[in-house]
Amino acid sequence: MRSDLHKKLQYKGYNYLHNKSYWVGAEEIRMGDIIDVWGISPSLNYTCAAIEVKVSRNDFHSFSQKCKNERAGLIANLCYILCPKDLIQIEDVHKDWGLLWYNEKTDRIMNKKMPVFQDMDDKKKLIALTDFLWSGINTVKKVDRDSIISKRKIFDFASELKVAYGKGLDESYYKGINDTVKNIWEFLGAKKDDRGVYSL
């Protein structure tokens, strides 16, 4: 069970990505293992970022985190560890991962180490996006549905995802992508016309 501190840092990590123009963010999405926070930025060519919250040294040295260290390129373009100030040092962190400290006194996050940018081919990004899109679209606040700009960007991106990332997939997997995109469109309030075409 997550502690109150872990939940607090998850929320801080969510806001950290949101404030850096990641218009989609999710708490706790499954990518083999659970990722604490995940987001994607249209202003940075759909760069993906992931944050793993650590509130103890034992958690940081867990087998789960060791696996994630080696799978950064399958999780996001940018992967960070977020922990309370001074709990984890720069030299402790895997070379591919960045380090964020949360300062309780100032209530701010400090970037102590930049991650190595992970190139993600279409297949890798498809897997990450699919995991994200399936992770509780109706139960997790992923988008600001009151923002017309965000709605249009997400609608267009979902359309691109359906066409570009669906190529070469087997029929059953593509159906999953197709259904997911429809869920996104409907979540944004898109309407279907007599031809079966969705629009905002």
> What tens-digit pLDDT sequence spans the chain (200 residues)?
678 999 999 989 988 998 888 866 556 666 666 788 888 887 787 788 999 999 999 989 988 888 888 888 888 899 999 999 999 999 999 999 999 999 999 999 999 999 999 998 766 766 676 666 655 443 444 444 445 555 666 667 666 666 655 555 555 556 666 676 776 667 667 778 888 777 76
Helices (H), the chain: 4-19, 57-60, 63-70, 72-75, 122-133, 148-164, 171-187
Question: H or E segment at 52?
Answer: strand 47-53
Q: How far apart are CA 183 and CA 61, in angstroms?
A: 37
Q: How far apart are CA 190 and CA 180, in angstroms?
A: 14
Q: What are phi and psi of 2, to 5 degrees?
A: -70, 140
pLDDT for the residue 140: 41
Inter-CA distances, 197 with 173, 182, 186, 193, Å: 21, 10, 12, 5
- Cβ(25)–Cβ(38) below 8 Å: yes
pLDDT for the residue 53: 94
| Per-position DSSP letters for 74-95, written without gaps between them | HH-SEEEEEEETTSS-GGGS-T
CB under 8 Å to 44, separation ≥6 — which residues? 21
pLDDT for the residue 165: 53
Write out the two tokens for 78. 């940018």
pLDDT for the residue 81: 97
End-to-end CA distance of the chain, in Å?
40
pLDDT for the residue 138: 38
